[in-house]
Homo-oligomer: A and B are copies of this chain.
Amino acid sequence: MMSKADNNSVRIDLPDWIAGVEQQLPASLETAEQRMSVAISLAEQNLRHGTGGPFGALVVAVGSGAVIALGVNRVEPQLCSAAHAEIVALSLAQRRMGHWNLSETPHGPLQLVTSCEPCAMCLGAIPWSGVTSVLCGATKADAEAAGFDEGARSSRWVEELDRRGVDVRTGVLREQAARVLERYARQGNTIYNP
């Protein structure tokens, strides 16, 4: 039975293996490609361990490349349709920074790095989070080719984020990122959209 507190709490835990991954990361991830490699590796490992959907994300300091938080998709294991990799990484970064607004941290501007372009929900979450920059790997077309649904996303999402002061670069290590999605689909895993 859940305790009274648990009955009124939402909790998303990262899988156990992720602490080991974090310990072994270099002190800073300097280039866009280094950062994206980590996001893709998280997606791959999440698929391999069977701990969620094939998506990985991280929050890093734009300037220093210091890693603030990692995230993976946890929808199925944590029974939470909002537990996309981006929401998990952003929320965990906010918790670690002690502020809901990531534009106000001692690390300077922060960046969200995600193995796949964000769906409509995650796209909507980005401006509220305070990150000033987003790097994406696989594109909407890659996600859709693997059977995923990105939701009712504006086709001008890059300009719309830019207008809100969030710089976007997409297609970073695209082929490598798309291969994780293809593998997931080929294995006949659940595509968890109602």
Query: Is A194 in contact with B128, judged by CB distance below 8 angstroms?
Result: yes
Chain A contributes a number of interface residues (CB within 8 A of B) equal to 57
A152 within 8 A of B: yes
A122-157 at interface with B (beta carbon < 8 Å): 122-125, 127-130, 149, 151-154, 157
| Contact across chains for B125 and A121 when beta carbons are under 8 A apart | yes
Task: Let me know if B8 and A92 touch, CB within 8 A.
Answer: yes
**In whole Å, how far is A97's beta carbon from the nearest beta carbon of chain B?**
8
Nearest CB of B to A61, in Å: 16
Are the C-beta atoms of A124 and B130 separated by less than 8 Å?
A: no
Which B residues are CB-close (under 8 A) to A189? none
CB A31 to nearest CB in B, in angstroms, measures 26
Question: Of the candidates B8, B90, B98, B151, which one forms a contact with A127 in the assembled complex, judged by CB atoms under 8 Å apart?
Answer: B151
Interface residues of A in 89-113 (CB under 8 A from B): 90-92, 94-103
Task: List 27 A–B pairs whose Cβ atoms lie within 8 Å, in order of A's numbering.
Answer: A4-B19, A7-B96, A8-B92, A9-B11, A10-B91, A10-B92, A11-B11, A11-B12, A75-B128, A79-B95, A79-B98, A79-B99, A80-B100, A81-B100, A81-B125, A81-B128, A82-B90, A82-B129, A83-B100, A101-B192, A120-B123, A121-B122, A123-B124, A128-B193, A128-B194, A152-B154, A154-B154
Binding site for B on A (CB under 8 A): 4-5, 7-14, 18-19, 75-76, 78-83, 87-88, 90-92, 94-103, 119-125, 127-130, 149, 151-154, 157, 160, 164, 192-194
Contact among B100, B153, B192 for A192, CB-based, below 8 A: B100
Distance in Å from the Cβ of A134 to the closest Cβ of chain B? 14
Chain B residues, CB < 8 A from A94: 79-81
* Whole-angstrom CA separation of A194 from B121 in the bound complex: 18
CB-CB nearest 7 A-B residue pairs: A121-B124, A120-B124, A130-B194, A8-B14, A81-B128, A10-B91, A152-B160
